[in-house]
Amino acid sequence: MTRIAIIGGGISGLSAAFAIEEWRRRGSEVEYTLYESSSRFGGVLRTEHIHGCVVEAGPDSFLTEKPWAADLARALGLGDQLIGSNDANRKTYILTHGRLVEMPDGLMFMVPTKILPTGMSPLFSWKTKLRITQEMFHPPRAADHDESVAAFIERHYGAEMVDRLADPLLSGVYGGEAANLSVRAVLPRFVEMERMHGSLGRGMLAARKKMRSWKNSAPPIFTSLKNGMQTLADAIVAQLTPTSLRINTTAAAIEPQAASWLVSAGMQSDVFDAVILALPAGAASSLLRMAGPELSAELAAIGYTSSITVALGFDKDVRQTLPPGFGFLVPRSEGKRILAATFVHNKFPHRAPEDRALLRCFFAGKNAEDVWPLADDQIVAIVRHELKEILGLRADPLFTRVYRWKSAMAQYNVGHLDRLDRIERLRQKLPRLALAGNAYRGIGVPDCVRSGTDAVKQLLG
Ligand SMILES: Cc1cc2nc3c(=O)[nH]c(=O)nc-3n(C[C@H](O)[C@H](O)[C@H](O)COP(=O)(O)OP(=O)(O)OC[C@H]3O[C@@H](n4cnc5c(N)ncnc54)[C@H](O)[C@@H]3O)c2cc1C
């Protein structure tokens, strides 16, 4: 019987545990213990139901084009719970000189593909519009080194594109700044487009043409679960072996022995054949300080930022007055604290009753650190003040919730992929150790699911 310790009960660790259950169902002689330091499984996947609204404290959805989370949901019997974003209503605004400006038609992520709507849009100055036109003629280029997303996008479109689009879009995903994030780790497709086509605009058009010839109708951009993202974590837990689960149990130390690992957690030590660390890199680094000091140092160098989400529920009068669309992004240059707001009732079905509006505002990185010491009601006051300035929203909310996530978003800074190569070499020097989680090859929920499943494959396959 192979015994595996899984440390960390977020979606990465839960996916690993579920993968082991599947190996067991197929006849493998393997068992596991899943250690989670907090009082619940799911990590940042947390959903509350308030006044008939489905309120997401952490992730609200995942990218449909990454299949692993939806595949897991189907394997758990949740196929009929999967919902797509209301893409027919998709409109996103960018706060530009204090006004909400709709992203122009043809903008794919941050790449303009239609000259006319971009040319007419007040989002960019004439200088940037000229750069966008010229970019279509960039010759292919193979960069031999990593660089920041900001430097890469600036080479193509100039600094205004970084401020107006690249930085706010990536802040929403990574909670980090385009000036630090690695283009190779965060936007590998853009690097490939530059190598193949030179122009990102032409690269996007070529990719879209290919997609069209494969598919008749585009799938929704985002997928979620009808009753919230926590459903995914709860459904996994329901299919795990109850005696394998340890909540309120922090793994304090792990020690390699001749052909095994000694795991000390919650006043007890146990011997395992293999260990999966499904933890934020800093926590994995602490546990490996003695067993692999070099590996530990590399893991510690992966930075994390904190984020805060604030949910506000309103009545139907507010719903009628809010702009259509999914919400807005706030460039740093606008001098606000919030980085984004989602009109949740528009983005997904089943999130709010017809007579409710549900807004979710987002602080990340330095903005989150700045407001972190404040009490929840002071943070809500900042949000309401900024929503009044941006949307003219004066109504009192029916409810508010503040959710704080300390050091939860991994930062793939310049050089991240080289660091991952070093981590992989160092990991192989330790016996039967696997790493999973959002620190490595994808921060989103689908990538974390894949990382948990792959960790099990690595140990048992
Ligand atoms: C606010 C927010 C919004 C997000 N939005 C999206 C989104 O819309 N779409 C998307 O795809 N992704 C989103 N993400 C990213 C994604 O949700 C996370 O990257 C992913 O869920 C991380 O899962 P994880 O299991 O790797 O880590 P975590 O969820 O952080 O879980 C790690 C677990 O390990 C436990 N732990 C730590 N130390 C120990 C120890 N020593 N012993 C035992 N247990 C320990 C912790 O308590 C925790 O439960 C968002 C993240 C945040 C914070």
Residue closest via CA to ligand 1's atom 14 equals: 59
Note the pLDDT of residue 326: 96
Q: Is the CB of 41 under 6 A from ligand 1?
A: no
Q: Percentage of the chain surpassing pLDDT 90? A: 92
Instruction: Name the closest-CA residue to atom 13, ligand 1.
Output: 59
Rounded to the nearest angstrom, the distance between the alpha carbon of 231 and the centre of ligand 1 is 15
Cα three-residue angle 297-301-305, rounded to 5 degrees = 140
CA distances from 161 to 110, 149, 167, 189, 310 (A): 8, 11, 8, 18, 27
Over 90: is that where the pLDDT of 103 sits? Answer: yes
Which ligand 1 atom is the nearest neighbour of the CA of 446?
Answer: 11
Measure 280 CA to ligand 1 centroid, in angstroms: 8
Contact yes or no for 129/118 (Cβ under 8 A): yes
Q: 73 CB under 6 A from ligand 1?
A: no
Q: Which atom number of ligand 1 is nearest to the Cα of residue 249? A: 43
pLDDT score at 216: 57
Q: Is 435 in the pocket of ligand 1 (CB under 6 A)?
A: no
Per-residue pLDDT tens over the stretch 49-92: 999 999 999 999 999 999 999 999 999 999 999 999 999 889 99
- CB 311 less than 6 A from any atom of ligand 1: no
Rounding to the nearest 10 degrees, give the CA dihedral for residues 111, 117, 121, 127: 60
Under the banding of pLDDT at 50, 70 and 90, the label for residue 213 is low
Q: How far is the CA of 459 from the centre of ligand 1 (A)?
A: 22
Distance CA 212, CA 204 (A): 12
Q: Are the beta carbons of 383 and 312 closer than 8 angstroms? A: yes
Nearest to 265 by CA among 282, 286, 241, 248: 248
Instruction: Read off the pLDDT of residues 223-278 as tens digits, 9 standing for 90 and up.
Output: 999 999 999 999 999 999 999 999 999 999 999 998 899 999 988 999 999 999 99
CA 161 to ligand 1 centroid distance, Å? 30
Q: What is the pTM of this model?
A: 0.96
* 215, pLDDT greater than 60: no
Residue 187: closest CA among 212, 223, 150, 161: 150
Ligand 1 close to Cβ of residue 68 (< 6 A): no
Q: Is 305 in the pocket of ligand 1 (CB under 6 A)?
A: no
What pLDDT score does 255 carry? 96
What is the 9 CA–ligand 1 centroid distance (Å)? 9
* 339 and 327 Cβ atoms separated by less than 8 Å: no
